[in-house]
Amino acid sequence: MALYGPLLYAWLPLLVFLLQAFHGGSAHSSCSENNGGCDQNALCSDDPTTGAMKCTCKTGYTNTGCDDKVVCTDSCTVNNGDCHSNADCSHDATTNAVQCICNTGYTNTGSGSTVVCTDSCTVNNGACDPNAFCSHDAKKNAVKCTCKAGYTNTGSADNVVCAESCPADNGADDPNAICSSDAGNDQRKCTCKAGYTNIGCHRRVVCRGTMISDKIDAFPPHLHTSDSCTANHGGCDANADCSHDATTNAVVCTCKTGYTNTGSGSDVVCTDSCTVNNGGCDANAVCSHDAKTNAVVCTCKAGYTNTGSGSNVVCTGMTI
């Protein structure tokens, strides 16, 4: 027996090696052969304590296997990579780690590595101008900024800047126009003041009668206004003088000397006074006009004598 003791001691390391090989252990790592049988997207390692082989999915992959079988699947295909429901899952080009990027129309309101995708319109008004409404494009869901009523976009389609349509300087291009906002399209519009007519280059609007105003869009047309009396004589009769009411500035048509208004209401029609009630002359007088002033001149007919005084001509029959 004394002989077997030293021999057994000498063969002990070999016996230990054989026992390890038989029970799955080895003197060298089993990961060196065929990745230890792990999934191609897994890392193989040996447990430092037990020596057992371990398969661990690489970055960007999730274990979808069961029990002891490790199956590594692209994390983005598993519950969207744990990204927010309104985020797209992708991978970092260098590390292959999962990246969560908010979809169009959503803003990340999370902190650190936690991505929380919130409707952009609820976050700082979608970065729209304070005087704009935030909404979403029907096709792409991109943020859409629309100026509120009373404001006009003075920027561009991609950079909406909402300026007051009718600022303190009236917002009109001419001092004789009044600025307001169109309720339908919220565009600035200019209305000529009483007694003024739009004679802009894009649309010709002529004011007729005592006062007619019209409205045109001020964007893009350039509005010019002019004294209505210079445009088609303010709509007055050819034998009338055009002027403006001192209070309202409305057009006032006044028949010239030697003419009488035979129109009705605001319609001024200037007729030769001599054809209207004989120009106010005596029935026995002839009506005519002064060569210089065109004023009515009453001259008694033959056989009659003016017995009136001053400009009041009274024709009385002559006695024989």
Query: What pLDDT, in 10s, does the model give residues 77-119?
Result: 999 999 999 999 999 999 999 999 999 999 999 999 899 999 9
Final residue before a domain boundary, out of 92, 122, 152: 122
Q: Is residue 225 part of a domain?
A: yes
Tokens of residue 110, six digits = 């999370």
Q: Average of pLDDT values for 30-44?
A: 92
Give the residues across from 136 on adjacent strands: 143
- Number of domains forming the structure of the chain: 4
Mean pLDDT of the region 263-277: 90
Residue-level pLDDT at 23: 45
* 224 and 261 fall within a common domain: yes
Of 107, 138, 164, which residue constitutes the final position of a domain?
A: 164
Same-domain pairing of 253 and 233: yes
**77 within domain boundaries:** yes
Residues 264 and 180 in one domain: yes
SS3 111: coil
For 207-242, the pLDDT digits (tens) are: 333 333 343 343 344 444 456 787 778 788 889 998
Same domain, 202 and 249: yes
Q: Which of 34-43, 117-126, 248-257, 296-305 has the lowest mean pLDDT?
A: 248-257
The long-range contacts involving 70-79, CB below 8 angstroms and separated by at least 24 positions, are 70/38, 70/39, 70/42, 71/39, 72/39, 72/40, 72/41, 72/42, 73/41
In a domain, 320, yes or no: yes
Facing residues of 42 across strands? Answer: 57
- Among the residues of the chain, which ranges form H helices? 4-22
User: Do 262 and 297 sit in the same domain of this protein?
Assistant: no
| Residue 235 and residue 257 in contact, taking contact as beta carbons nearer than 8 Å | no
> Secondary structure of 155-213 in the HEC alphabet?
CCCCCCCEEECCCCCCCCCCCCEEEEECCCCCCEEEEECCCEEECCCCCCCCCCCCCCC
Residue 58 lies in a domain: no
Asked if 117 and 156 sit in the same domain, the reply is no
Query: Domain span at residue 285?
Result: 276-320
Q: In the predicted model, what is the mean pLDDT of the chain?
A: 80
- Together in a domain, 226 and 201: yes
Query: Residue 200 domain-assigned?
Result: yes
Identify which has the larger pLDDT, 14 or 58: 58
